[in-house]
Amino acid sequence: MRKPFTLIELLIFLAVITALMAVATPVGVNAVAEAKHNQVAENLRNIEVAKQNYAFVEKPDDNTLRSLTVDELRNKNTSVQHRVDIV
């Protein structure tokens, strides 16, 4: 028959688990914040690419392009589709 765990052993086990959780929780929170940061950065890159594509296709004058907003870009009735072939 096995001897049961003592109170000290159980307390040490709980202390180890608590220490591991204290290390793991900030890492998880930082990973979520970094993912959000990367998502925002990617969205900003996509907006810039959309402005460049608009400028290439529509060829507006400089003043129009400088004052172009995301809403104007979204509301434009340009249905230009670009196809990318993977080589």
Question: Residue ranges per domain, the chain?
Answer: 19-64
Which of 14, 12, 84, 7 has its CA nearest to residue 53? 84
Query: And the tokens for 85?
Result: 């072939």
d(CA 38, CA 82): 25
Supply the pLDDT for residue 69.
Answer: 72
| Proportion of the chain above pLDDT 90, given as a percent | 34
Supply the pLDDT for residue 36.
Answer: 93
Supply the pLDDT for residue 43.
Answer: 93
d(CA 66, CA 43): 19
- 58 touches 78 (CB < 8 A): yes
pTM of this prediction exceeds 0.75 = no
